[in-house]
Amino acid sequence: MDGCLPSEATMFKNFLDQVVAADKLGYETAWVAEAHLSSEVQKGNKKPVIPHWHGEVGLMNDLAQIAHVIFAKTKRIEVGSAIMNILTNGGPIAAAERISTFLTLHGLDEKESRRIHVGFSGGRFEYQNRPYGIVPRDPVEEAAWPALKGQIFSEAGEIFCRLLRGETLSSDDVKQRTLTRANFRSDEDWARVQAAAGGTPDEIPISPRYIFEELKITPSDYRRELLQLIAGTHDKNVQEELNKYLPVRIFNLSITQADVIEQTHNRLKEHYHKDGGEWKRDYMPRTTFVFLNADPALTSEQQSEAAATEARRCLGAYWSALEGTIDKRKIDNAAKNALIGNPKEVASQIKERFHPNDRLMLWFDFFNHNSQMVIDSMTDFMEKVVPIVEGA
């Protein structure tokens, strides 16, 4: 945006500067976005996923490596992934090994108590998954693809969690996934899949995506209290399934509807894995953009307008890059769910929109390469917004 495209080294340095600042300011967790493969190169593919995106979606492709660097540079802050794609880079087995190795090394210091929060999903962009074999394998899967992707993640998630739990298992031990009408948005979509299957079956079995003989990941004797899993899925069946194996919390975006959020809380009170204790509201982080202006040279009204202008600019650029056209409704909806304004306004929005026990995942650097501006915003939020929210 604005023709600003820092070098890769500059972006990594900016990120680490921001994390160090966040640590000193008292933020609890540094959430790291993950990306794989060049988004610029994919624009020349036969089926580009984001043909209008300029530059790379992101540079972080290995949570474990960046987490070691963050922990070495900070004293209090924890590290989380938002979100790690367990279908890429070798799939769920390799992902489980990377995390177990990280935890083994991270936990060698007996005084270390900081956790790694592994947010995981099946990824958002197909160009990042295709090279790893995450493609339709037959006409039925082709017809069912949008719904089938959720089942692939479900299978991968089970493998990932069970291996991290320390199990020895083979693909024969993994639950077989199926497709039914419930997986599809419309009767027409389901009928199309049934036709591809050669009839009108009530249930269509899915061949395993991951086939392997008995195995167990190593190392496996890591300190499990340093691991927190968080699934990036709205599928209630997957949320409940994963919690059969380990305590798995849930991500919810700022654009998630309020009724879905409350339903998720109520359901997890019953299904959250017993080893995680009683389900708490802050176990489901709430993502929100922050466009805060506290410039002392401006009046409160001018601060408010400057923040709103920045929000419209960034959100408009995002949707334009992601979809190729600016959908005003999406920009307006995203703006309604973002925190926008001067300190008093942002504090008021937090009180109005969020439960007092919600945990906010604050996105300060959205479409912003001005690192000092990001740090200033983080500082203003902690020093000028938080005291108002807490009633100080």
Terminal Cα distance for the chain, rounded: 38
Bin 273: left if φ > 0, else alpha if -120 < ψ < 50, else beta: beta
Please state the domain extents for the chain.
Answer: 27-139+150-175+209-284, 289-389
**Does 107 score more than 80 pLDDT?**
yes
Beta-carbon count within 10 A of 123 CB: 23
**Does 324 score more than 70 pLDDT?**
no
Residue 78 φ/ψ, nearest 5 degrees = -100, 175
Instruction: Give whole-number Cα distances, 314 to 126, 291, 334, 351, in Å.
Output: 24, 9, 11, 24
Among residues 139, 178, 133, which one has the least CA distance to residue 155? 178
Is the CB of residue 143 less than 8 Å from the CB of residue 206? no
Q: Side chain identity at 315, as an amino acid letter? A: L
State the DSSP H helix or E strand holding residue 249, giving kind and residue range, or none if neither: strand 248-250
Tokens describing residue 294: 């506290």
pLDDT in tens, 24-77: 999 999 999 999 999 999 999 988 888 888 888 888 999 999 999 999 999 999
362 compared with 51, residue with greater pLDDT: 362
**pLDDT at site 5:** 80
User: What percent of the chain is modeled with pLDDT above 70?
Assistant: 94
54 compared with 17, residue with greater pLDDT: 17
pLDDT in tens, 165-206: 999 999 999 999 999 999 999 999 999 999 999 999 999 999
User: What percent of the chain is modeled with pLDDT above 90?
Assistant: 80
Residue keyed to tokens 């938002």: 82
**pLDDT at site 80:** 97
368 compared with 63, residue with greater pLDDT: 63
**Does 103 score more than 70 pLDDT?**
yes
pLDDT in tens, 204-232: 999 999 999 999 999 999 999 999 999 99
**pLDDT average, residue stretch 318-336:** 61
**Does 328 score more than 70 pLDDT?**
no
**pLDDT at site 325:** 43
CA distance 368 to 318: 11
Q: Which long-range contacts (CB under 8 A, 24 or more apart) does 238-243 make?
A: 238/150, 238/153, 238/154, 238/157, 239/264, 239/267, 239/268, 239/271, 240/267, 240/271, 241/154, 241/157, 241/158, 241/175, 242/157, 242/158, 242/161, 243/268, 243/271, 243/272, 243/273
**Does 14 score more than 80 pLDDT?**
yes
Query: Average pLDDT, whole number, for the chain?
Result: 92
Residue keyed to tokens 């334009």: 320
Nearest 5°: the CA angle 173, 181, 138 is 65
Among residues 353, 356, 360, 358, which one has the least CA distance to residue 281? 358
CATH of domain 27-139+150-175+209-284: 3.20.20.30
Q: Crossing angle of helices 187-196/139-164, nearest 10°?
A: 100
pLDDT in tens, 277-296: 999 999 999 999 999 999 99
pLDDT in tens, 259-282: 889 999 999 999 999 999 999 999
Q: Give the pLDDT band of residue 250 (cuts 50, 70, 90).
A: very high
CA distance 359 to 23: 17
DSSP states of 202-225 as a string?
S-EE---S----SB--S-----GG
Is the CB of residue 353 less than 8 Å from the CB of residue 255? no
Q: Give the pLDDT band of residue 326 (cuts 50, 70, 90).
A: very low
